[in-house]
């Protein structure tokens, strides 16, 4: 597996990228504004939210579910619940400092404007994409040249 700083960075950048693409497409399909501009948006906080949330929580759930052979619907439910718990917790903390960049108050099934149940299918799909990326990372780790590079980096970081 990639060293933890690289995974943290990867998940942070990946999350912000997906958020910008998602919000741009949401503007195109769900907005009454001129959606053709595809203006996606995010926040610098999102890098840390996605990076730490995926690295610390989702990777652990993935390993646990894989070890115990949970069926796909159960794993999807895990990812949805985990995402909602993490998004709500981060939203509460950021709101305390006036730094929360999202507000779902206009959605019918929102909880304090911090999460919206309408996004559950999207979070489920995100969980599947995450599992696919994790399986790719595990496959790449098995390649001989990759193991050599990772072991060399680990030896260098110990000195």
| pLDDT score of 129 | 95
- CA angle, corner 24, sides to 19 and 26, nearest 5? 95
Q: What is the DSSP string of 35-66?
A: GGG------HHHHHHHHHIIIIIIHHHHHHHH
Rounded to two decimals, the pTM is 0.82
pLDDT tens for the chain, 159 residues long, are 788 899 999 999 999 999 999 988 888 887 776 667 888 889 999 999 999 999 999 999 999 999 999 999 999 999 999 999 999 999 999 999 999 999 999 999 999 999 999 999 999 999 999 999 999 988 887 766 655 566 666 677 666
pLDDT at 36: 77
Query: Three-class SS string for 126-153?
Result: HHHHHHHHHHHHHHHHCCHHHHHHHHHH
What pLDDT is stored for residue 145 in this prediction? 62
For residue 46, the model assigns a pLDDT of 95
Amino acid 2: pLDDT? 81
Cα of 9 vs its chain's centroid, Å: 12
Q: How far apart are the C-alpha atoms of 78 and 62, rounded to whole Å?
A: 9
Taking the CA of residue 143 as centre, how many other CA atoms within 13 Å lie in the half-sphere pointing to its CB?
Answer: 8
């Amino acid at each position: 597996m990639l060293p933890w700083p690289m995974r943290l960075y990867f998940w942070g950048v990946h999350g912000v990228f997906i958020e910008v693409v998602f919000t741009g497409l949401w503007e195109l399909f769900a907005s009454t504004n001129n959606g053709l501009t595809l203006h996606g948006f995010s926040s610098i906080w999102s890098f840390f939210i996605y990076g730490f949330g995926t690295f610390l929580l989702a990777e652990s759930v993935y390993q646990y579910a894989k070890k115990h052979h949970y069926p796909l619907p159960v794993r999807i439910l895990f990812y949805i619940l985990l995402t909602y718990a993490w998004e709500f917790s981060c939203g509460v903390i950021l709101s305390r400092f006036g730094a929360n960049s999202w507000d779902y108050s206009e959605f019918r099934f929102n909880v304090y404007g911090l999460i919206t149940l309408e996004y559950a299918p999207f979070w489920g799909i995100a969980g599947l994409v995450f599992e696919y990326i994790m399986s790719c990372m595990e496959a790449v780790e098995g390649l001989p040249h990759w193991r050599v590079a990772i072991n060399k980096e680990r030896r260098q970081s110990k000195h």
